[in-house]
Amino acid sequence: MDAKDIEADLIRVHCTEEQIQTRLGELAVEVWDHYEGKDLLLVGVLKGAVMVMADLMRHLPGSAPMDWMAVSSYGSGTKSSGVVRILKDLDADITGKHVLIVEDIIDSGLTLSWIRANLSSRNPASVEILTLLRKPDAAKVEIDTRWVGFDIPNEFVVGYGLDYDEGYRNLRDVATLAPHVYS
Ligand code: XMP
Ligand code: MG
């Protein structure tokens, strides 16, 4: 897909590259202060959170280890099924660690509430959530999310790691995908 075709598939921009970087910079400082002196582990959820993890980490005032988990709940559609399967588990044991789950987006919340429960059962010292985006109007379950970048409307968005059928992840802004693309 070349850049012109991509442009035609987008309706409106919700967060620009610059807004994302500014917000991640603010969140990184809050995260760093919160975990001062603690054994922090950043856990990214593949693949959507790749960009958030990379930029959040580079905004942190110091270094912290990362690990990754991959789950499937969507297939190639645009609605969460709620049925979660682990495609790739964490590399290491998280017993006693302060886990911060780094996510791209909370939509229905079904995926993340499953992941949080799963990680909490492994005896970490704590589990918190940071998400770049949240769709308050789409929530099906309530999730205690400590850090949220932006609340956005209940629309299917792409860019900055978020994909539709593996496309659009490389966009630098987050924008709504035109329904003609998937309907
Ligand atoms: P739920 O509904 O379980 O969704 O909170 C979690 C995962 O679904 C993906 N997701 C999206 N991906 N645009 C995307 O590209 C969206 O608007 C969107 N909403 C949900 C995402 O992987 C998220 O972690
Ligand atoms: Mg995700």
Q: Which atom of ligand 1 is nearest to the CA of 164?
A: 15
pTM of the model: 0.93
DSSP string, 50-102: HHHHHHHHHHSSS---EEEEEEES-TTSSS--S--EEEE--SS--TT-EEEEE
Residue 141's domain comprises 17-154
| Rounded distance from Cα 48 to ligand 2 centre (Å) | 5
Please compute the mean of the pLDDT values over residues 5-11 and round it to a whole number: 88
Neighbours of 147 (CB within 10 A): 20
56, part of any domain: yes
123, part of any domain: yes
Q: What per-residue confidence (pLDDT) applies to 81?
A: 65
Q: Which residues are catalytic?
A: 107
Question: Could you give the number of structural domains in the chain?
Answer: 1
| Rounded distance from Cα 148 to ligand 1 centre (Å) | 15
Q: Which amino acid residue places its CA nearest to atom 17 of ligand 1?
A: 156
122, part of any domain: yes
Q: Does 158 contact ligand 1 (Cβ within 6 A)?
A: yes
Q: What per-residue confidence (pLDDT) applies to 72?
A: 85
Q: What per-residue confidence (pLDDT) applies to 56?
A: 98
Give me the half-sphere count of Cα atoms (radius 13 Å) on the Cβ side of residue 114: 18
Q: What per-residue confidence (pLDDT) applies to 8?
A: 87
3-state secondary structure of 85: strand
Q: Does 162 contact ligand 1 (Cβ within 6 A)?
A: yes
C-beta separation of 106 from 133 below 8 A: yes
100, part of any domain: yes
Give the β-pairing of 126-134 and 147-151.
parallel
Q: What is the CATH number of the domain that holds 88?
A: 3.40.50.2020
Query: In testing the pocket of ligand 1, which one of 110, 111, 181 has its CB within 8 Å of the most ligand atoms?
Result: 111
Q: Which atom of ligand 1 is nearest to the CA of 104?
A: 24
The reply to whether ipTM tops 0.85 is yes
Could you report the per-residue pLDDT of 53-73, keeping only the tens digit for each? 999 999 999 999 999 999 987
Q: What per-residue confidence (pLDDT) applies to 4?
A: 77
159, part of any domain: no
162, part of any domain: no
Q: What is the rounded average pLDDT for all residues in the chain?
A: 93
| Rounded distance from Cα 99 to ligand 2 centre (Å) | 17
More confidently predicted of 182 and 67:
67
29, part of any domain: yes
Choose among 6, 115, 17: nearest CA to 67: 115
182, part of any domain: no
Please compute the mean of the pLDDT values over residues 111-130 and round it to a whole number: 96
Please compute the mean of the pLDDT values over residues 2-7 and round it to a whole number: 80
Q: What per-residue confidence (pLDDT) applies to 165?
A: 93
